[in-house]
Structures are given as structure tokens and as C-alpha cells.
Chain A
């Protein structure tokens, strides 16, 4: 056990020393890996910002059903109760005629003629129930419920129920667009991950080539495969760690910088403030993710690169 620990420490030390000796070669590997990790990180943060924007838009989708003035309190109570027991109803809020009037006045604060009209005619605005669906794609369920004859009788015949139909179609389009962006991001990530693996692969191969005499001597002296391979793997894991830290720093500058520098809080759908907030609040998790990806890319490519050189002759 003690021997094993001594050996592991020695492998790590050798890897670190080799890393400093190999710095010029390592720079290329780290640059590409840094770009890869930055793209990955950007996709994650931007993806969450897109999701956030879409969720916010979707939350604004609701169904408003207007009630007839003749509805009594018991009728209202039982209607609300039934409505809330529907599986697709997240929230159903009742607004009395007075509340609706106040709302209408507030919304049209600048429009004096309309305001005057509203106060002169007495309250013509019906009471309403605003329904927030669980799944905006299944608004039909709610519609079916509302269109039952018993329920229809309670509703104001003058004002049709509003389903925010057009808004939904627009939001769907946006969601589709962000999905396309996200898919493009995944493709870019895969491509760059492969490029960085190839470059690390070559860097390690070059390092092996530089030290091939040393390796053959180690072999003859009975060094185990991992004693030889370990330092190379450690070296490329260091590439991964440095690139991960660099990508975090880069994204931090990018989001924090634009959030401060730009007066606008968002670039179209990309809510910079939210992205910045998300990045800050998930910093440790994102750092961990980046480190894991960086270490994985480094370790896998160096293990593959060293494999061929460490085989024993079996024939």
C-alpha cells in the first residue's frame, strides 16, 4: 500500500515536471481544448437563458373566461372548485368586476376618453377567471371543460373566452428556433471535442517520441505500464484542468462584461442578465462540469496515444 502511494505520487510529480518541459507543445493542445470547453460552457449557460426566456413567455399564456353578471356566489364557488380539479389547470384566479375595472383603468391610464367612458357607463366589464394551464400544448382539455353546456350557461355570452392562441404559435416558433441553435451547439461541441482530442493525441505522441529512449529503458528495468503511462496521462489531465479554468474565466468576462457594458439586459432572446446570474449562481457546478469534461478529454486521448507504445511483443 505504501509502495503504491509512493508510486502514485511519483507519477503525478513526473507528469507535472514533464508538463513544464513540454510547455510549447502543450500550448496548442490547451488552446484548442480551451476553445472546446468554452463552447460547451457557453452552450450550457445560453441554453439555460433560452429556457428561462421561453418559460417566462409560456407562463404568460393563459385562458381567460368571462362570467355572466348573473352568476351567484355559490355557483361561482362550485365552478372554481370544478375548474381547479381539472388535471391541466395549474392556477385559476377569480377577478371580480370591480377588480377588472380597476385593471382596465390602470392599463389605459393615458387614454382619457376611454377612462371617461368607463366611468360614465357604469361597470360593463364582466368578472373573469384567469386560468394558467400546466401544459400550454393541451389547452384543448380546458376548452372542452369550459364548453360544457352547464358551464357555458355561467359564462358571459358577449365576451368570448380568450385562449391566447396566436401567442402560443409565436412562442412555439421561438422554441423551435432555440432548439435549432441548441442542436447546432451540440454539433459544434462534438466537432471541437474531436479536434482537441486529436491535437492532444498528437502532442502526447510527440512527447512520447521525444522520450522514447527513456521509455524503452524504463521498460527494460521493469517499469509497469502505468508507471510509464501515468505521467503522460497526468500531463494531459493538467491540460484539461488549465483549459477548464480558462474557459470559466473567459465566459465570466464575456457575460459579466456584456451585462455591465451593454445597457440592454438582453440580446433578443438571450437574456444576458439572467445568463450572468445563472453563471454566477452555478459557478461551482459549472467549474466541476468543465473540469470533468477537460480531464476526460485529456485522459482518454493520452491513454489511446500511449497504448501503441506500451504493448509487449507477444509474437
Chain B
């Protein structure tokens, strides 16, 4: 599903590379946790996958798409196949919960009718039924993050990328979010999660990839948090 082959990313020639010849293979339906200190290169890795940044060298293939051969005009099409969740939610503040999720479908030209059928189903999955009319500012952090997850998965992407989705949340809400991610993974979506939360990593017992100074230093199934 995701294949990185000796991927290097250099932002500034005078500094050490943000990612240094990283190779990683993620199978379909896998749940992979990426851990590492701030500045280790986790976010860079995710930004390469969403093609917000371009690798300096190496090969990236996601869902059969070779990023070297990806033309700029096809980047939007790629992003529609990848769901992304951010630490700061990135919800549209002047749209309510329903509209925020519907927005992802409007972009791909789905009709009003289909949108009204699809969005409630997804809001149910993330346990936000009944909050359709709420504005983002009226929600707790955990709820907002679940809106963001609903928006990311409403188009049924094959891959969900979650960049420290629990970073701004207290433990209870963090677990709400993680449970939702697990549920989505059970439905067959590949999940790539970055986090600092030791408790979550230890309890999830999933494959853990540890990045340090731009290199993968550990890649273990069923692992615990260790830096």
C-alpha cells in the first residue's frame, strides 16, 4: 500500500537531511504507529506522503502511484485517495459539523442528495450523531478531532494518515479518537499514526516504527514505545 525506497528529504543543504534514506513498506489494512522526538522527521514523512513536499531522492509509491511520475494537476486526485487528520484539526470555523464533513464530498463533485445520505453514516461511526448542527468552536477538542476524522474517511480512502491527532487532547478524549481510528482500520483502511503518547502506543500493541534524526532506528510488530 505504501512503499518508500531510500527516501531522502533535504530542506537546507547546510543542515542534516530531515529524512535520510528511509525505506518502509506498509501492507494494506495495516495499522502502523510512527514515533520519534520532535524534529525527528515524522511530519516530514507524512508531508511527503500527501505530496505537500517532494522528496529530494528515493522512490515513493502509494496505492500504486509513483510520485516521480505524478503530475501537479493530478495531485488533487491523489489527495482524495488519502485521508489526513492533523493535530490542529484544520476544520473550517464558519461551517458546522455536517458542512465540514460534506465539504470533502463537495470537492469531488458529489450531489447534495448523496452527501445527505453519506455524511450521517460517517458521523455515526465517529460517535457524533446529533452534533450535526454544532459549530466547531462549540465542540470539545476530542469531538473536533472526530469531525476531522469523519471528514478524512467520508470518501472511503484506502489510507488514513493521522499526524499526532491526540497531541492536543486529554487522555480520555485521546482514547476516544484512537478507538475511532481502530474502528476505521477494522473496516479495512490502512492507518498511519504518529504520536508522542506512550500510553497509547503501549496499549495498542501494533507495529511501531521509530524515527530518530531522520533515520528509521526500529521497526517492530506488536511493540511498545521506546525512544
The reply to whether A221 and B103 form a contact with Cβ atoms under 8 Å apart is yes
User: Which of B75, B84, B107 interacts with A227 by CB under 8 Å?
Assistant: B107
- A-B CB contacts (within 8 Å), total count: 57
Q: Is the C-beta of A312 less than 8 angstroms from some C-beta in chain B?
A: yes
Contact assessment for B107 and A223 in the assembled complex, using a CB-CB cutoff below 8 Å: yes
Q: Mark B104-117, 1 if CB is under 8 A from A, else 0.
A: 10111111000000
With a CB–CB cut-off of 8 A, which chain B residues contact A216? 90
The segment from B46-54, B138-146, B184-192, B200-208 found at the interface with A is B46-54
* B158 contacts partner chain A, Cβ-Cβ < 8 Å: no
Interface residues on A, range: 20 to 34
Determine the chain B residues whose CB is within 8 A of the CB of A4 once the complex forms.
109
Closest to A10 in B: B106
Question: Which residues from A are CB-within-8-Å of B80?
Answer: 221-222
Is there an interface contact between B109 and A7, defined as CB atoms closer than 8 Å?
Answer: yes
**Set of chain A residues within 8 Å of B107, measured between Cβ atoms:** 218, 221-224, 227
Are the CB atoms of B52 and A214 closer together than 8 Å?
Answer: no
Assess whether A314 is in contact with B54, with CB atoms less than 8 Å apart: yes
Q: How large is the interface on B (under 10, 10 to 19, 20 to 34, 35 or more residues)?
A: 20 to 34
Q: How far is the CB of B149 from chain A (nearest CB, A)?
A: 13
Question: Smallest Cβ distance from A140 to chain B, in angstroms?
Answer: 65
Q: In the assembly, what is the distance between CA of A217 and CA of B50, in Å?
A: 13
A227 partner residues in chain B, CB cutoff 8 A:
107
CB pair B90–A223 under 8 Å, yes or no, is no
Within 8 A of B (CB), among A201-239: 213-214, 216-225, 227
A313 at the interface (CB under 8 A from B): yes
Asked whether A313 lies within 8 Å of B52 as measured between CB atoms, the reply is yes
Neighbouring A residues of B90 by C-beta, 8 Å: 213, 216-217, 220
Give the distance to chain A from B77, nearest Cβ to Cβ, in Å: 7
Shortest Cβ gap from B42 to chain A (Å): 17
- Assess whether A148 is interfacial by the CB under 8 Å rule: no
Interface hub of A4, A6, A213 (most chain B Cβ within 10 A):
A6
Q: Is A3 an interface residue (CB 8 A)?
A: yes
In contact, A3 and B110 (Cβ under 8 angstroms): yes
B137 CB to nearest chain A CB (Å): 14
- Cα-based distance from A222 to B77 in the complex (angstroms): 6
Please provide the chain A residues from 248 to 299 with a CB less than 8 Å away from any CB of chain B in the complex: none
Interface residue? B151 (CB, 8 A):
yes
Would you list which residues of chain B between 12 and 28 have a CB under 8 Å from chain A?
none
Given B75, B91, B104, B108, which contacts A312 in the complex, CB threshold below 8 Å?
Answer: B75
Taking CB atoms, residues of chain A closer than 8 Å to B106 are 10
Nearest residue, chain A, Cβ from B71: A312
Q: Is there a chain B Cβ closer than 8 Å to A2's Cβ?
A: yes
A315 touches B54 (CB 8 A): yes
Q: Which of B65-120 contact A (CB under 8 A)?
A: 72-73, 75-80, 84, 90-92, 103-104, 106-111
Does the CB pair A6–B109 fall under 8 Å?
A: yes
Within 8 A of A (CB), among B41-62: 50-54
With CB as the reference atom, state the residue of chain B lying closest to A224. Answer: B76
Q: Which residues of A contact B103 (CB under 8 A)?
A: 218, 221
Task: Considering the complex, give the chain B residue whose CB is closest to the CB of A21.
Answer: B94
A221 — which chain B residues lie within 8 A by C-beta? 79-80, 84, 103-104, 107, 151
How many Å lie between the Cα of A218 and that of B107 in the bound state? 8
Find the A residue at minimum CB distance from B112. Answer: A6
The contact string, 1 if C-beta is below 8 Å from chain B, for chain A 142-158, is 00000000000000000
| Chain B residue nearest to A227 in the complex (CB) | B107
Contacts of A220 in B (CB 8 A): 50, 52, 79, 84, 90
B50 contacts which chain A residues (CB < 8 A)?
Answer: 220
Task: Assess whether A3 is in contact with B108, with CB atoms less than 8 Å apart.
Answer: yes
The contact string, 1 if C-beta is below 8 Å from chain A, for chain B 162-184, is 00000000000000000000000
Chain B residues, Cβ within 8 Å of A213: 90
CB neighbours (8 Å) of B51 from chain A are 312
**Is B79 in contact with A222, judged by CB distance below 8 angstroms?**
yes
CB distance from A116 to the nearest CB of B (A): 93
CB contact between A214 and one of B75, B92, B104, B109 (< 8 Å): that residue: B92
> Quick check: A222 and B54 within 8 Å, CB to CB?
no
Asked whether B109 lies within 8 Å of A223 as measured between CB atoms, the reply is: no
Task: Give bound CA distance, A176 to B138, whole Å.
Answer: 72
Assembly CA distance A216 to B108 (angstroms): 16
Query: What residue of chain A has the Cβ atom nearest to residue B109's Cβ?
Result: A3
Determine whether the beta carbon of B77 is less than 8 Å from that of A6.
Answer: no
Alpha-carbon separation in the docked complex, A7 to B50 (Å): 23
Report, nearest first, the 7 A-B pairs whose CB atoms are least far apart: A3-B109, A222-B79, A222-B80, A7-B109, A223-B107, A312-B72, A222-B76
8 cross-chain CB contacts under 8 A: A2-B111, A7-B109, A10-B109, A220-B79, A221-B80, A223-B107, A224-B76, A225-B76
